[in-house]
């Protein structure tokens, strides 16, 4: 009698839980599961029983949202406590229905560390799997592109390892969400999930720099890697600068500059007069009083300007372009920028008050993203002069140019030095997605952290974004956080 009372239809609870629309016990579980969401930490806790997710039917607890089309599901998840059965499990799942024998695909991590991409091709069929070489990851991602499903997993700090299954048609509209299964009908297990992201990527026929999707401003804690979405918009937001007074972020959107109040969490347009084609190459002076802009003019391309950070009268700095601003010297006297001259992209400096520009790099290829260290002794930048995009540095006069990242595992862009001078954060693109001279929007990207003294970079954020995510200095003044932009087509989500 008890088991018959709790069918999937009876257990489905369409009450919203964070980003999810409802929760359900799948199959005839003895102990009902539950899910809670803590808004202050944006963290989910799931509890559930169930005998297994395997063979031709399943039993587990599920928080879900209906989605159509392509998606990228991301979280940092872990099981709580020692548990009872080594095959208790958590992960992401997409399924055709809430029936226990539904077709599905899941990215699952077991209590003993076993990790796999598991799937049931059709209703009532046997479950199949592709196992990962990674054991006990805490970063779990499941993606859909058409009928291809990709699992990406990692131990936090390391790059993803990938498994994939193609030609899996479980329907256009599916239930996607997080799950927990005890692998023991008499036991309830718990899992916690943070940094949960349900991303809708750009469409396959998307035209870069002409079309844009929505944006999240995220704030990331360096010590833990914990992320918080602090603002979402259905349009493109780019390149947040953190003000030295710790009160605001400065970003660009649709040609305008905005000040985002961190206490009120509201944006306000900064008056830049008739200069209204501002791009994501903008930077604050070290004292926070001035804002440098890159904005396009007809027949000249991007030109550099300066303006008080509160807005007002602009001063044109470079007479010609394209010129893309990236750094301001600590003494406030010099700007460093990427200039396109004679079909070459090189690093230049120019007096902040205006004057003749000086070329610092001469190697063929693309040099970009130049930024001064807080002590003014170095300029860091990225260059593809070796065939791969790498982080480099040089003295402020252009001497002593040397590579900082040398493994060539990724294409590394836009180094940013922490205010205390101890750390570098930068973007890393996957080589299979991005060419060494290309820095597009809307790709898989890592935000990586490197001690300024050298060593092995650590991944501190895994997200969907691009060159507008953090291409300008984004450190908090206490060097404990960074701000960045992640992207999702939020207009398609119900």
Q: What is the 3-state secondary structure (H, E, C) of 358-410?
A: EECCCCCCEEEEEEECCCCCCEEEEECCCCCCEEEEECCCCCCCEECCCCCCC
Residue 286 lies in a domain: yes
> H-type helices in 335-463, by residue range?
none
Give the 3-state secondary structure of residue 11.
helix
Residue 209 lies in a domain: no
Same domain, 304 and 372: yes
Alpha-carbon span 217 to 234, nearest angstrom: 12
Domain endpoint, select from 199, 222, 237? 199
Same domain, 229 and 135: no
Same domain, 187 and 229: no
Domain endpoint, select from 175, 199, 223? 199
Same domain, 157 and 59: yes
Both tokens of residue 396? 């402020």
Residue 391 lies in a domain: yes
Residue 206 lies in a domain: no
CA 88 to chain centre: 29
Same domain, 182 and 218: no
Same domain, 254 and 358: yes
Same domain, 262 and 396: yes
CATH code at 371?
A: 2.120.10.30
Q: Which of 443, 448, 457 is nearest to 486 (CA)?
A: 443
Q: Residue 267: which domain range?
A: 214-492
Same domain, 181 and 303: no
**How many domains would you assign to the chain?**
2
Same domain, 279 and 348: yes
Alpha-carbon span 203 to 489, nearest angstrom: 9
Residue 356 lies in a domain: yes
Residue 19 lies in a domain: yes
Whole-number pLDDT of residue 14: 61
CATH code at 76?
A: 2.60.120.200
Domain endpoint, select from 199, 233, 264? 199
pLDDT in tens, the chain (494 residues): 333 334 444 445 568 999 999 999 999 999 999 999 999 999 999 999 999 999 999 999 999 999 999 999 999 999 999 999 999 999 999 999 999 999 999 999 999 999 999 999 999 999 999 999 999 999 999 999 999 999 999 999 999 999 999 999 999 999 999 999 999 999 999 999 999 999 999 998 888 888 999 999 999 999 999 999 999 999 999 999 999 999 999 999 999 999 999 999 999 999 999 999 999 999 999 999 999 999 998 888 999 999 999 999 999 999 999 999 999 999 999 999 999 999 999 999 999 999 999 999 999 999 999 999 999 999 999 999 999 999 999 999 999 999 999 998 999 999 999 999 999 999 999 999 999 999 888 999 999 999 999 999 999 999 999 989 999 999 999 999 999 999 999 887 54
Same domain, 183 and 249: no
The pTM is what?
A: 0.95
């Amino acid at each position: 009698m008890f088991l018959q009372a709790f069918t999937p239809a009876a257990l489905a609870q369409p009450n919203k839980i964070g980003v999810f629309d409802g929760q359900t016990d799948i199959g005839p579980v003895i102990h009902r599961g539950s899910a809670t969401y803590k808004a202050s930490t944006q963290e989910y806790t799931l509890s559930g029983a169930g005998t297994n997710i395997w063979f031709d039917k399943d039993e587990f607890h599920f928080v879900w949202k209906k989605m159509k089309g392509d998606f990228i599901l991301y979280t940092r998840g872990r099981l709580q406590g020692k548990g009872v059965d080594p095959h208790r499990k958590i992960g992401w799942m997409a399924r055709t229905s809430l029936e226990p024998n539904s077709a599905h695909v899941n990215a699952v991590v077991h209590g003993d560390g076993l990790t796999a991409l598991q799937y049931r091709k059709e209703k009532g069929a046997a479950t199949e799997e592709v196992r990962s070489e990674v054991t006990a990851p805490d970063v779990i991602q499941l993606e859909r592109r058409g009928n291809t499903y990709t699992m990406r997993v990692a131990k936090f700090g390391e790059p993803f390892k990938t498994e994939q299954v193609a030609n899996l048609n479980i329907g256009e509209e599916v239930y996607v969400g997080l799950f927990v299964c005890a692998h023991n009908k008499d036991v309830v297990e718990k899992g916690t999930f943070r940094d949960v992201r349900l991303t809708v990527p750009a469409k396959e026929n998307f035209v870069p720099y002409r079309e844009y999707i929505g944006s999240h401003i995220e704030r990331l804690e360096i010590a833990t890697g914990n992320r918080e979405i602090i603002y979402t918009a259905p349009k493109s937001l780019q390149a947040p600068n953190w003000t030295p007074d710790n009160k605001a972020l400065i970003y660009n959107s649709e040609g305008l500059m905005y000040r985002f109040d961190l206490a009120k969490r509201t944006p306000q347009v900064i008056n830049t007069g008739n200069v209204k084609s501002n791009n994501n190459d903008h930077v604050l002076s070290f004292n926070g009083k001035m804002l440098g802009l890159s904005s396009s003019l007809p027949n000249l391309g991007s030109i550099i300007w300066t303006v008080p950070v509160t807005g007002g009268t602009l001063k044109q700095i470079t007479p010609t372009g394209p010129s893309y601003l990236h750094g301001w010297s600590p003494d406030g006297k010099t700007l460093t920028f990427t200039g396109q001259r004679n079909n070459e992209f090189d690093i230049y400096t120019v007096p902040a008050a205006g004057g003749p520009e000086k070329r610092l790099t001469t190697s063929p290829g693309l040099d970009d993203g130049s930024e001064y260290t807080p002590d003014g002794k170095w300029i860091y930048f990225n260059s593809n002069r070796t065939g791969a995009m790498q982080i480099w540095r040089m003295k402020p006069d252009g001497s002593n140019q040397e590579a900082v990242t040398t493994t060539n595992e990724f294409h590394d862009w836009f180094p940013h030095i922490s205010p205390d001078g101890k750390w570098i954060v930068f973007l890393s693109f996957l080589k299979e997605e991005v060419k060494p001279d290309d820095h597009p929007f809307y790709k898989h990207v890592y935000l990586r952290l490197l001690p300024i003294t050298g060593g092995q970079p650590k991944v501190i954020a895994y997200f969907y974004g691009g060159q507008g995510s953090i291409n300008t200095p984004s450190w908090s003044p206490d060097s404990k956080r960074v701000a960045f932009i992640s992207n999702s087509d939020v207009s398609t989500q119900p």
